[in-house]
Structure 1
Amino acid sequence: MNTTKIIGTILIILGIGLGYLGFNKISESTNSVNVLGVKIEASNESGKQEGYLYIGLAIVLFVGGVYSLNRSK
């Protein structure tokens, strides 16, 4: 197996994992509670920004992995 295929596969796996972490980070940053019929929302903006950063990096890693796999053919 060629090393570029191995590196490409690793980049794709890391991209998927980092994307999963980013989506979880964003979903955990926003919570809402109903108190006596009143909906109260709380959000953590820095947590959302960190989640979006993870997703952006995941896209870069995934695209780099796909490019690396296609280039090795």
Structure 2
Amino acid sequence: MKTSQIIGILLIIGGLYLGYMGITKVSNNSAEVKVLGLEIDASNESGKETGYLYLGGALLLIVGGVYSLKQK
């Protein structure tokens, strides 16, 4: 195996992990509560933003990993 292939695989694995962390961070910081017919949004916006940043980083890592694997 070439070094670029190993780096590509590591980038993809890191991207998948970061994506998982981002999805869980976004879902944990989103909440709606219904009280007497009214919906109250009790979400943490800064936590959601951090989750979206994780997802963006994951996308970049996966694209970089695929690019590294495709190079000859």
Q: In structure 1, what is the equivalent of residue 38 of structure 2?
A: 38
Instruction: Report percent identity of matched pairs.
Output: 58
Q: Using the alignment, how far apart are the partners of 1:3 and 1:52 within structure 2?
A: 30
Q: Unmatched 5+ residue regions in structure 1?
A: none
Which segment is superposed worse, 35-44 or 62-71? 35-44
Q: In structure 2, what is the equivalent of residue 28 of structure 1?
A: 28
Aligned positions, number: 72
Cα distance per residue 1:1-25 (max 9 Å; x no partner) = 1111000000000001101110110
Q: Unmatched 5+ residue regions in structure 2?
A: none
Structure 1 residue 31: Cα displacement? 1.1
- Runs of 4+, deviation exceeding 6 Å: none
RMSD: 1.1
Please give the TM-score of this superposition, normalised by the length of structure 2.
Answer: 0.90
- SS of the residue corresponding to residue 31 of structure 2 reads strand
Structure 1 residue 64: Cα displacement? 0.2
Q: In structure 2, what is the equivalent of residue 50 of structure 1?
A: 50
Structure 1 residue 39: Cα displacement? 2.9
Structure 1 residue 42: Cα displacement? 0.4
Q: In structure 1, what is the equivalent of residue 7 of structure 2?
A: 7
Q: Which has the higher strand share?
A: 1
Please give the TM-score of this superposition, normalised by the length of structure 1.
Answer: 0.89
